[in-house]
């Protein structure tokens, strides 16, 4: 039996018992209230245990259409930078793959995986750009090096070498020497307006807790417990 088969056998035997908590039937009627509690607890756990290292890390999934029109889902990890009743905000190069994909198919899914707490939150909804003022406000908070990197990188495009990439950064660094770095016209925020939020809490025997919130037309939410 080859090494690959042995690796599969080892993975098949992996087991973790989930004992961290539960989701009560009387969970908040507003999912954002529960989200705020869970996000705060993820940061508190990080501050105490250095885990998870990035509590605001979120897997963003978009849809690309191939030449034949077939939908191809694509995922990557980004950082959640804002959230409020209007939605969940990330910032990116809008000419990147994800930026162009939501321009064609303005829908996305988000996943926040808080493994040490044996929790995850899934969010699905429509996508829209944030206002220029919102993008400007966040851009002004970014470290200068990150601002220069945004100008230097033609995100998602091929490049010949790391050396060529560093040369692009050096050119941008020289261009903006001793002056504030303006926000590029191709860089900004994307807001996912949630239609559903699902809270998942690990429980023993894979009998996990799942609470699903679905947006109503009147702005409220319907709450359902899902079977694991």
- Residues designated as active site: 206
186 in a labelled binding site: no
206 in a labelled binding site: yes
DSSP character string of the chain = --HHHHHHHHHHT------S----TT--SSHHHHHHHHHHHHHHHHHHH--SS-TTEEEEEEEEE-TT--EEEEEEEEE--EEETTEEEEEEETTSHHHHHHHHS-EEEEEEEEGGGTEEEEEEEEEEEPPHHHHHHHHHHS-HHHHHHHHH--TT---S-HHHHHHHHHHHHHHTTTSPPPPPTTEEEEEEEEEEEEEEE--GGG--EEEEEEE-TTS-EEEEEEP-
179 in a labelled binding site: no
100 in a labelled binding site: no
16 in a labelled binding site: yes
38 in a labelled binding site: no
91 in a labelled binding site: yes
Residues tagged in the binding site annotation: 15-18, 76-81, 91-92, 98, 120, 138, 142, 146, 155-156, 200, 206-208, 210
Residues tagged in the binding site annotation for substrate: 15-18, 81, 138, 142, 146, 206-208
Residues tagged in the binding site annotation for FMN: 76-81, 91-92, 98, 120, 155-156, 200, 210
């Amino acid at each position: 039996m080859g090494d690959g088969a042995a690796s599969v056998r080892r993975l098949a035997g992996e087991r973790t018992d989930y004992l961290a908590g539960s989701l009560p039937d009387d969970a908040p009627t507003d999912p954002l209230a529960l989200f705020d509690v869970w996000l705060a607890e993820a940061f508190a756990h990080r501050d105490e245990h250095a885990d998870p290292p990035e509590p605001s890390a979120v897997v963003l999934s978009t849809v690309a259409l191939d030449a034949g029109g077939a939908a191809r889902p694509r995922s990557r990890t980004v950082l959640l930078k804002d959230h409020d009743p209007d939605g969940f905000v990330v910032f990116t190069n809008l000419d990147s793959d994800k930026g162009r994909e939501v321009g064609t198919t303005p829908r996305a899914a988000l996943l926040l995986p808080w493994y040490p707490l044996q929790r995850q939150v899934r969010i699905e909804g429509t996508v829209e750009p944030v206002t220029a003022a919102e993008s400007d406000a966040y851009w002004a908070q970014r470290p200068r090096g990150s601002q220069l990197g945004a100008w230097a990188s033609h995100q998602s495009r091929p490049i010949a070498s790391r050396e060529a990439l560093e040369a692009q950064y050096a050119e941008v660094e020289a261009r903006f020497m001793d002056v504030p770095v303006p926000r590029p016209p191709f860089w900004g925020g994307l807001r996912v307006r949630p239609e559903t939020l699902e809270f998942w809490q690990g429980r023993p025997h894979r009998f996990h807790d799942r609470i699903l919130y679905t947006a109503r037309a009147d702005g409220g939410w319907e709450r359902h417990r899902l079977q694991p």
